[in-house]
Amino acid sequence: MELLKSKYRFVKAIPALLSPIYLFVVFGISLGVSSLSLAQMQIEISGVGQSLYPIAVTSFVAENNLPSKVTDVVRSDLVNTGKFFNIDPGSTVQGISETPDLSFWSARRAQALAIGDVKSLPGGMFEITYRLYDTVKKESLGGTTVQVSTQDLRRAGHAIADDIVQRLTGERGIFSTRLSYITKNNKQYQLMISDSDGQNSRVALTSIEPIISPVWSPDGKNVAYVSFETKKPVVYVHELATGKRIVLANQKGNNSAPAWSPDGSKLAISLSRDGNTQIYSLNADGSNLKRLTAGSAVDTEPQWSRDGRSIYFTSDRGGSPQIYRMSSDGETFGNASRVTFKHSYATSPRISPDGKSLAYIARSGGYKLQLLDLKTGDVVGLTQTNHDETPSFAANGKFILYATRIGSRNVLAAVSIDGSVKQTLSIPGSDVREPAWGPFMN
Amino acid sequence: MSTNFFFKNQALVRRFAFFALALMTVGLTACSSGVKLDDVDENAKSGSNSSGSVDSKFANQPWNDPKSPIYNKSFYFDFDSYTVKSSDQALIDAHAKFLKANKNYRISIQGNTDDSGTSEYNLALGQKRSEAVRKMLSLLGVPDAQMEAVSFGKEKPKSPNADDAGRADNRRADIAYQ
C-alpha cells in the first residue's frame, strides 16, 4: 500500500477516457439509457490549501457487482473540495460486518476511514451502507444507507460523500446538488443539467438560437431561462422532470434576467416593453405583472435578498453600471440605494445563501469576480481571469461557480469563497457558459 | 414507387417494418434527450436581414433590391454610444417613408453589442441601440404597431470580436422586415 504523494495537492486532471465515469456512460448506453451526454466535463483543481485532511475510502464489499464503482465517485468528490486527501486503500475491500483495524489505517496516516457494503435488491435496485471512523480517536462516526437504481449510482456516491463531509466538517456537502449550463457547438446551443462535478450531464433543451441566464427554482424542479428561439429574448420556465415549458414572459421588446423569489412563488424579470429595460415581478405562472423600477436608465439583473424583502439589481442610472438595492415591492416604496462603489463597472449581483455577501463582476483590468461583505463593505477579487461572468453560489455558500475564458476557450470555473481552491470545468471541443448552481434537494 | 409495388414484396415489407421501428427508436431517443426545438428555415437561421443579405422569401421586396434606398438596413454605433449617427438620418428617413406607405409590413429592430461586458447588461445595451432607431422612426410617424425593438446583446456577433474592426461591426442595430 502506498501513499499518494503531494501530486494531488496541486493539479489533478481526470482525462475523460480514463475516468471511471466514462466507463459508466458506455455501459449506460448499452442499457438503453440514451439521455446521457457523451461530451464529458473535465475537472482540474488547483491552489489547494496546505492542511488536507487524509482519509481512506476502501472498496465496498460486493461493489464489483455494480456497473461502476461508487467509491470512485466518493473519492473524486472529496478531492474536488480541495480539503481532502485520499490515502490509497490499495486493493482493500472492507465491509461493515467486521470492525476495521483502525490502527492499521492511522499508521498509514489516514485520519478517517470509510468502509461499506453493497447489497442487491429485487428490481435492479442496490442498497449501499457505509460507516465512517475516526482512526485517531478510534471511534465510529456513524454512517448512512442509500437505496438506488443502476442509473443513480453516482447519486449514491454523492450522498455518501455529502455524509462524510457533514460528519467530518459540520458543513453540508454539495455533491448531490446539480448544475445547469449552456454548451455551444458550432451553431447549436444546449441547456445541460449535470451532477455537481459536471459529470452525468443530460440535455434539457436544444436550440439553434442562443439560450442565456438559466436559474434554478428554490425547489430544484424548474429552471427559468432566456431563449432567443423566436428571434427575440423570451423568458421560459422549464420543468426538468417532464420537459414541459411555459412562456413566463413574452412582452413586446426584450424579456430577460429571470430570478426566483426565495419561496419560489414569484420571479423578477427585466422587460423593455416601455422602451428602456426595467425590472418587473410576476407570479411563477406568469400572472400579476408589476413594474418595480421607475427610471429612465437601464435597470436589470434583479436578485432577491434571502429574506425576500429587497431586490438587488444592476443599474446605469449613475452613468456607469453599479449594483443597487430596493424594496421588493418596488422603488416607489423607498429609494434605491447604491451597493457597489469600488469599480467603475459592476454587474451580475448574486446573494450568498446566508445573505451576508454579494458576488458580482467588476471591470478591473478585465472582467473579474468580486466578493463584497455586505456588513463591512470589504471587496475581495477572487480570480485572475479577465472574462468572468454569471457567478452562482453553491447551495452551502462555500464555492462560487462562474463562466470565464482560458485562452480562447469558454469554460466554467469554481472558486472557494476564500479564494484558496479553484476548479476548472471544461468540455473538450465545446464552449461552456452561463452556469447556475442548483439548490439542496431536500 | 407505388404503394402497391411496395407491399407486394415481402422482403421490402419487412425492411419497411424495420425502418419504422428504427424511426420509432430514434423518436424515443429524441424524447429522452430533452426538448428539441424545430429547426427554422435557413433564412431565419442567418439571423438579421442586414445589408447585402437577400432573404429568398422576400426576394422581390425593395429591402432586398440593391438599388432601393432601404436596401441598407444596418446602423452602426460608436463605442459605448447609443445614439444614431447623424450620417444615418437619410437612411432612417427612407425606412420611415417606406413603412408609412406600406402599413402591412412590420419590422423588428435588432440591437447588438461587442463582447466586452456581461451578457444581461449587454442585452440591455443592445436594446438601447434598437430603441434609438425605433424612436427616430416613431418621430417620423411610423406607428408603434409596425415596429418592435429587441436585442441580441453580445450573443449573436456578426463578426469575430477578435479586433477593433470586428467589434465595431458588432456595435449595430439591424432592421429586419417581416
Give B154-178 pLDDT, tens digit per residue: 999 999 999 999 999 999 999 999 9
Cβ of A321 within 8 Å of Cβ of B121? The answer is yes
Q: How many CB pairs under 8 A join A and B?
A: 124
Bridge partners, residue A132, by sequence = A114, A142
Q: What ipTM was assigned to the predicted interfaces of this complex?
A: 0.88
Radius of gyration of chain B (CA): 23
Chain A: give the shortest CA distance to residue B7, in Å.
32
- Chain A residues in contact with B135 by the CB 8 A cut-off are 275
Nearest chain B residue to A202 by CA distance is B33
Cβ of A238 within 8 Å of Cβ of B117? The answer is no
Q: Which tens digits make up the pLDDT trace of A23-38?
A: 222 222 222 223 344 4
Residue B44: pLDDT over 60: no
Cβ of B33 within 8 Å of Cβ of A203? The answer is yes
Residue from A144, A148, A98, A155 nearest A125 by CA: A148
State the average pLDDT for chain A: 89
DSSP strand pairing (B172-177 vs A337-338):
unpaired
Q: Which tens digits make up the pLDDT trace of A118-159?
A: 999 999 899 999 999 999 999 999 999 999 999 899 999 999
Nearest to A276 among B119, B120, B131 (CB): B131
Q: In this structure, are residues A119 and A126 in contact, taking their beta carbons and an 8 Å threshold?
A: yes
Cβ of B150 within 8 Å of Cβ of A345? The answer is no
**In what side-by-side order are the strands of the sheet with B172-177?**
B74-76, B172-177, B107-112, B147-153
User: Which DSSP state fits A354?
Assistant: T
Residue A18: pLDDT over 70: no
Q: Which tens digits make up the pLDDT trace of A302-333?
A: 999 999 999 999 999 999 999 999 999 999 88
Nearest to B121 among A206, A253, A314 (CB): A314
What are the cell numbers at A350? Answer: 448574486
Chain B: give the shortest CA distance to residue A245, in Å.
9
Q: How far apart are CA A376 and CA A412, in angstroms?
A: 29
Cβ of A345 within 8 Å of Cβ of B128? The answer is no
Nearest to A204 among B29, B35, B131 (CB): B35
Residue A47 confidence (pLDDT): 62
Residue A286 confidence (pLDDT): 96
Mutation to test the B interface, candidates A181, A228, A231, A242, most B Cβ within 10 Å: A231
Q: Which tens digits make up the pLDDT trace of B103-150?
A: 999 999 999 999 999 999 999 999 999 999 999 999 999 999 999 999
Residue A3: pLDDT over 80: no
Residue B19 confidence (pLDDT): 42
Cβ of B118 within 8 Å of Cβ of A298? The answer is no
Angle between helices A153-169 and A20-30 (to 10 degrees): 150
Which residue matches cell numbers 407491399?
B7
